[in-house]
Amino acid sequence: MHVRTVHDFFRRLPVGVLPPSSLAVLVESAVTREHPAGSSIHSSGDPAEHVYLIHSGRIAIGRRASPHRVVTIDIRRSGDVVGEGCLWQTAIWEDDAVVVAPVWATTFTRACFRLFLDEHPGVERALMEQAIAHRDAALRRTFAVLNRSVRARLAAVLLDMGDQDGRGQQRRVRLRQRELAALVGATRETIAVELQRLELEGFIVRADEAIVLRDIVGLRALTSDDADTEPSPPARRRVRRGGR
């Protein structure tokens, strides 16, 4: 079991030091296992009874737009929690959670996790803040799919999903084109064309299976659907030096 990873997750929360004994009880009641790509974590209509802590891999969260179409609204990665909503309401899932890259995750039952939160209200507040942030991001993406161009939606997703550097700036995105396409609400072919455009214009560069965000200011401007947006001066200088 990924005991250290579970402990590290709770240490990152702004709640101070938790008693090792209470963490031990929570960990002992959990199960850690691998979920292969394409497998379902939960589906719309399933009972909401488990919470998952991801150690590696990625899980796509989707909402059903029709009986035959699911719109991806979020991608959860290493260190993220899936299913935290069931901690505050006993109901059925309204979304689908599907593994898009092989996942190792620790599964906690709702009942055990709920007892742990009752003993540690600081942890509950921190997890609720994370849940609200995820919900707000999902609402923004859903709104964007309905109201913005593919280019604007792609810029927003790149900014939203970028890993942060030590100064808090979003710099790298490690998602496959099909995952970006699902989040943006476009085809893989369209995403490939738009990524090429962004790279040629100096907003991004693709390297080592990652997308490096070179012009954060310019990408933010693109999210407003301003067709006349150009790379910032430093980005334009880099493009010229690169011979493009």
* pLDDT(230) > 70: no
Q: Are residues 76 and 117 in the same domain?
A: yes
> Which of 146, 166, 192 is the last residue before a domain boundary?
146
> What are the two backbone dihedrals, phi and then psi, of residue 168, each rounded to the nearest 5 degrees?
85, 10
- In which residue are the tokens 């260190």 written? 79
Q: Are residues 10 and 92 in the same domain?
A: yes
Q: Are residues 135 and 159 in the same domain?
A: no
Q: Are residues 89 and 107 in the same domain?
A: yes
What pLDDT does 159 receive?
86
Half-sphere exposure of 41 (CA within 13 A, CB side): 37
Q: Which two tokens stand for residue 180?
A: 């970006």
Compare 227 and 63 and report the one with higher pLDDT: 63
> Which of 146, 166, 199 is the last residue before a domain boundary?
146
* pLDDT(234) > 60: no
Rg for the chain (alpha carbons), in Å? Answer: 20
- In which residue are the tokens 């496959």 written? 176
pLDDT digits 0-9 by tens, 135-160 = 888 887 777 766 788 999 899 888 87
What pLDDT does 16 receive?
78
pLDDT digits 0-9 by tens, 158-198 = 887 776 554 555 578 888 888 888 888 788 999 999 999 99
> Which of 117, 146, 175 is the last residue before a domain boundary?
146
Asked if 95 contacts 82 with a C-beta cutoff of 8 angstroms, the reply is no
Q: Are residues 156 and 49 in the same domain?
A: no
Q: What is the CATH number of the domain that holds 199?
A: 1.10.10.10
Q: Are residues 62 and 81 in the same domain?
A: yes
SS (H, E, C) the chain: CCHHHHHHHHHHCCCCCCCHHHHHHHHHCCEEEEECCCCEEECCCCECCEEEEEEEEEEEEEEEEECCEEEEEEEECCCCEECHHHHCCCCECCCEEEEEEEEEEEEEEHHHHHHHHHHCHHHHHHHHHHHHHHHHHHHHHHHHHHHCCHHHHHHHHHHHHCEECCCCCEEEECCCHHHHHHHHCCCHHHHHHHHHHHHHCCCEEEECCEEEECCHHHHHHHCCCCCCCCCCHHHHHHHHHCCC
Q: What is the CATH number of the domain that holds 37?
A: 2.60.120.10
By C-alpha distance, which of 28, 46, 122 is closest to 82?
46
**Which of 60-69, 159-168, 207-216 has the weakest average pLDDT?**
159-168
Q: How confident is the model at residue 73 (pLDDT cuts 50, 70, 90)?
A: confident
Q: Which two tokens stand for residue 56?
A: 């590696």
pLDDT digits 0-9 by tens, 32-52 = 999 998 899 998 899 999 999
Q: Are residues 142 and 153 in the same domain?
A: no
User: How far is it, in rounded angstroms, from Cα 67 to Cα 222?
Assistant: 33
What pLDDT does 66 receive?
66
Q: Are residues 56 and 140 in the same domain?
A: yes
User: How far is it, in rounded angstroms, from Cα 218 to Cα 197?
Assistant: 13
> What are the two backbone dihedrals, phi and then psi, of residue 48, each rounded to the nearest 5 degrees?
-90, 95
- Sign of the Cα torsion 209, 101, 64, 128 reads negative
pLDDT digits 0-9 by tens, 213-228 = 999 999 999 987 654 5
- Domain range holding 114? 3-146
pLDDT digits 0-9 by tens, 89-127 = 868 998 889 998 899 999 999 999 999 999 999 999 999
> What are the two backbone dihedrals, phi and then psi, of residue 95, each rounded to the nearest 5 degrees?
-130, 175
**Average pLDDT of the chain, as a whole number:** 84
